[in-house]
Amino acid sequence: MGRRRTPELYRAPFPLYALRVDPSAGLLIAAGGGGAAKTGIKNGVHFLQLEQINGRLSASLLHSHDTETRATMNLALAGNILAAGQDAHCQLLRFQIHQQKGKNKAEKAGSKEQGPRQRKGAAPAEKKSGAETHQEGVEFSVENLHEVQTDFSRDPLQKVVCFNHDNTLLATGGTDGCVRVWKVPTLEKVLEFKAHEGEIEDLALGPDGKVRR
């Protein structure tokens, strides 16, 4: 008898490059895409709600955020702020979730008379381009805060991003071998130094303020 196949938790509609979990909110954040190539593969960040249903972990799509021509290659999470590495840039995003208050009976009756019923499990797309919330009763918004170029090599690419212990700073590294430290949320640069000649694959900001790579 063959091996039992593990059930899929989630299948992204694009190549996945970065995942982050927010245990306090029960959120899984998945990002990736096809990049700038005109292949028809979208670039996006998906926000999924994690739940235990009948003893099994389930993930349902709450919101999809379109990142246009840039695939998100790396992510860092600080509360409701995401730092997304996209090509040679770092994009700061802030997301908010609100449970909508239930409509009263009169409103519900009026909505039935005024038009066709909405498909269960889907909500109308937000007015912002490429943004869509997928669950009724949930108001989900994603705001672009700031963006900055973080890598300046001949073929620039940010490969890693991380926040410090109190989320007031973030550090980036990439193909030019330089570590750069930025204020949150303004992305004002406070430090830059050449770490080594090769690419920076990983780094961390310790509680003592020291950079570990």
CATH number of the domain residue 30 falls in: 2.130.10.10
Q: What is the pLDDT of residue 86?
A: 97
What is the pTM for the complete model shown? 0.80
Q: Is residue 161 part of a domain?
A: yes
Q: What is the pLDDT of residue 56?
A: 87
Q: Which of 70, 79, 90, 67 is CA-nearest to residue 171?
A: 90
pLDDT tens-digit profile of 14-71? Answer: 999 999 999 988 999 999 999 988 888 999 999 999 998 888 889 999 999 999 999 9
Q: Is residue 75 part of a domain?
A: yes
Q: Is residue 11 part of a domain?
A: no
Q: Is residue 174 part of a domain?
A: yes
Q: How many domains does the chain have?
A: 1
Q: Is residue 7 part of a domain?
A: no
What average pLDDT does the segment 179-203 reach?
A: 94
Q: Which of 34, 66, 41, 59 is CA-nearest to residue 132?
A: 66
Q: What is the pLDDT of residue 43?
A: 95
Query: Residue 65: which domain range?
Result: 16-100+137-212
Query: Residue 9 — pLDDT band, cuts 50, 70, 90?
Result: confident
Q: What is the pLDDT of residue 95?
A: 95
Q: Is residue 119 part of a domain?
A: no
Q: What is the pLDDT of residue 116?
A: 31
What average pLDDT does the segment 137-145 reach?
A: 88
Q: Is residue 77 part of a domain?
A: yes
Q: What is the pLDDT of residue 37?
A: 83
pLDDT tens-digit profile of 77-130? Answer: 999 999 999 999 999 999 998 876 654 444 444 444 333 333 344 333 333 445
